[in-house]
Amino acid sequence: MLEAPVQISHYFPEQRLLLQVINDPEIPNYVHLVVSIILTDLAPDEAMDREDELRKNWSRGLSHEIREHFYTILEYSDEF
């Protein structure tokens, strides 16, 4: 998790990040770590392209155990 902001900032340098811990209601004691990338001024196509590159270049290098519980998602702020 300490590496996530650094890696994400390569693709989304001006965006805020929000970390959420989400319990899976269907599986006891199973949690997901979700990092929301809060977008303010990127076009949706560009944001998705950047997220694809992030996944290719960083997320795929993570262990299976981490990838199973860790996600990034794109969200637009109300100010978009």
Does pTM top 0.85 for this prediction?
no
Sign of CA pseudo-dihedral 38, 41, 45, 50: negative
Kind of pairing between the strands at 16-23 and 31-39 = antiparallel
What are 65-76's pLDDT values in tens digits? 887 778 889 999
pLDDT digits (tens, 9 = 90+) for 11-69: 999 899 999 998 888 888 888 889 999 998 899 999 999 999 998 888 777 887 887 77
Query: What whole-number distance in Å separates Cα of residue 59 and Cα of residue 61?
Result: 5
